[in-house]
């Protein structure tokens, strides 16, 4: 190979920013399960969802149209950083000694530092268009909170963020960034909501969870007399839909590279960045005969896909959200305080779960020390410090690359580097000082998940 002529970065122009989001529900062979109201036990109505979301997002949630137009004001703001680069990781390949070709889609190029901005902007836009003046949300590691903070600032709305206590303490700079963008950030569980106060009464030292933070943010919206709406950074279908710009761009960039992926990899906590890169490639599998493997990588501490029960559960801890069918560890699950705060969710996106259950995607779980080892090797090879969440995808790529090496295969690997790790240096410091622990979800807990789930009677 002539290293002087090789191409590292595959770039598109602003004209190549997708004009439409891709909706996997148009092509999926999986029939979506009903969404159940926690109040009535019947399928949730648009009016019930309207307490939380504007109608445009509700319609996107249930749509089966293959493509949905991106509003021009949103697409114009996408130009701040999109299209993001697809980069061939030559130095990483060399460090691994693999014949595999490794590419990564770098979503850390966004102003807020992660893929979350792809859905934060349309959510803020649709809420503003519907007359909202303020929003509430939760955040784990702080990437979603940062993204929605900036989006609300762009559309002149206030934002209230409930940040998981473990991350609030571990990652104060994310909080400072949210406040810089104009948001109000509170450690969750907090004393601002009834659900937060109940958790603190039971456990004053609670490290929190995404489920708890969701309860607080939903409660803050529901009890606001219509003055606030709720925004969610993952899990729901409209969020996955907005992230499809990642995969649509990656398809064009692989054409520029003259290759096509054998495997596409993303980390999963709620499922949005994995779906964003994987679903357009899944469309090509379903409609055009491609055979790309789609690999989701999650933490062993929160292995909802690989070890959770596929059943109906609340999306939050207090049972305020609609009940959805997903792989779950139980809505009262409290995760170990691993540093990949964005992956500490008890459940997973229902759309993604249905596809996993049907065998259309694969999933593995990785302990956090291996994850940081892969992240450090990548940083030292490519010069980009990855977020701990993204390092799960990197570790997945390492596993694939070493397997290709062992088998002597020229495998093409693409992974989504969904965010940078500039605010995660305390986690890297803990790794370098041998202070990180590996956590595995106890086997005994798997058998009891069913006991923690709501009883759902489906309509005939």
Separation CA 177–CA 169 (nearest Å): 14
pLDDT band at 121 (very low <50, low <70, confident <90, very high): very high
Closest CA to 280 of 294, 295, 267: 294
State yes or no: pLDDT of 35 exceeds 60: yes
pLDDT over threshold 80, residue 3: no
Give me the residues paired with residue 393 across strands: none
- Measured CA to CA, the distance from residue 120 to residue 428 in angstroms comes to 28
1 pLDDT tier (thresholds 50, 70, 90): very low
Return the closest-CA partner of residue 118 out of 201, 196, 233: 233
Does residue 66 surpass a pLDDT of 90?
A: yes
Q: What is the pLDDT of residues 397-430, one digit of tens each?
A: 999 999 999 999 999 999 999 999 999 898 999 9
Structure confidence by residue, pLDDT tens digits, 169-218 = 888 899 999 999 999 999 999 999 999 999 999 999 998 988 899 999 99
Q: 323 and 36 in contact (C-beta within 8 Å)?
A: yes
* Contact assessment for residue 402 and residue 344, using Cβ atoms and an 8 Å cutoff: no
- Residue 106, pLDDT > 60, answer yes
Q: Residue 265: beta bridge partners?
A: 295, 415
The distance of Cα 438 from the centroid of its chain, to the nearest Å, equals 22
Instruction: Compute the average pLDDT of residues 2-23.
Output: 88
DSSP string, 19-56: SEEE-GGGT-SSPPPPPB-TTTSSBPPHHHHTTTS-HH
CA-nearest of 327, 137, 162 to 234 is 137
Using pLDDT thresholds of 50, 70 and 90, give the confidence band for residue 2: very low
Q: Is 283 within 8 Å of 27 (Cβ atoms)? A: yes
**pLDDT score at 210:** 84
pTM of the model: 0.95
Instruction: Give pLDDT tens digits for 298-353.
Output: 999 999 999 999 999 998 888 888 999 999 999 988 777 766 666 778 999 999 99
Chain mean pLDDT for the chain: 94
Nearest CA among 216, 221, 80 for reference residue 153: 80
Q: CA torsion angle for 319, 323, 326, 331 (degrees, to 10)?
A: 10
Alpha-carbon distance of 371 to 354, in angstroms, equals 27
The domain 83-113+243-446 is placed in CATH, from the list 3.90.226.10, 3.40.50.1100, 3.90.700.10, 1.25.40.10, at 3.40.50.1100
Residue 13 scores a pLDDT above 50? yes
- Tell me the domain boundaries of the chain: 83-113+243-446
């Amino acid at each position: 190979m002539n290293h002087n002529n090789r191409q590292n970065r595959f770039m598109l122009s602003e004209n190549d920013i997708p004009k439409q989001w891709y909706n996997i529900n148009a092509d999926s062979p999986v029939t979506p399960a009903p969404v159940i109201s926690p109040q009535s036990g019947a399928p949730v109505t648009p009016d019930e969802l309207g307490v939380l979301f504007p109608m445009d997002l509700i319609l996107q949630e249930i749509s089966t149209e293959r493509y949905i137009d991106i509003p021009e004001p949103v697409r114009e703001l996408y130009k701040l950083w999109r299209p993001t680069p697809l980069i061939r990781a030559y130095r990483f390949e060399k460090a691994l000694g693999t014949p595999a070709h490794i590419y990564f889609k770098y979503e850390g190029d966004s102003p807020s530092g992660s893929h979350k901005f792809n859905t934060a902007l349309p959510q803020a836009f649709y809420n503003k268009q519907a007359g909202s003046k303020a929003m509430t949300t939760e955040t784990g590691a702080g990437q979603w909170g940062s993204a929605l903070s900036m989006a609300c600032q762009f559309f002149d709305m206030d934002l209230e963020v409930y940040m998981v206590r473990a991350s609030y303490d571990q990652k104060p700079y994310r909080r400072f960034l949210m406040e810089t963008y104009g948001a109000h950030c509170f450690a969750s569980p907090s004393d601002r909501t009834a659900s937060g106060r109940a958790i603190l009464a039971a456990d004053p030292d609670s490290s929190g969870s995404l489920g708890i933070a969701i309860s607080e943010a939903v409660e803050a919206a529901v009890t606001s007399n219509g003055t606030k709406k709720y925004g969610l950074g993952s899990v729901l279908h409209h969020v996955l839909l907005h992230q499809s710009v990642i995969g649509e761009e990656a398809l064009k960039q692989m054409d520029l590279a003259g290759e096509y992926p054998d495997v596409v990899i993303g980390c999963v906590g709620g499922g949005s960045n994995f779906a964003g890169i994987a679903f357009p490639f899944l469309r090509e599998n379903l409609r055009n005969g491609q055979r790309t493997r789609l690999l989701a990588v999650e933490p062993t501490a929160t292995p909802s896909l690989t070890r959770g029960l596929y059943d109906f559960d609340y999306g939050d801890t207090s049972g305020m959200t609609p009940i959805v069918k997903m792989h779950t560890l139980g809505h009262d699950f409290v995760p170990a305080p691993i540093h990949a705060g964005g992956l500490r969710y008890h459940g997973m996106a229902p759309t993604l779960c249905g596809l996993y259950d049907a065998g259309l995607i694969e999933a593995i779980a990785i302990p956090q020390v291996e994850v940081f080892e892969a992240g450090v090797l990548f940083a030292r090879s490519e010069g980009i410090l990855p977020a701990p969440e993204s390092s799960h995808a990197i570790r997945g790529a390492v596993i694939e690359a070493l397997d290709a090496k062992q088998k002597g295969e020229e495998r093409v690997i693409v992974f989504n580097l969904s965010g940078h790790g500039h605010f995660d240096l305390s986690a890297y410091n803990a790794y370098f000082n041998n202070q990180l622990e590996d956590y595995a979800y106890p086997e005994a807990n798997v058998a009891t998940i069913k006991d923690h789930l709501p009883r759902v009677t489906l309509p005939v």
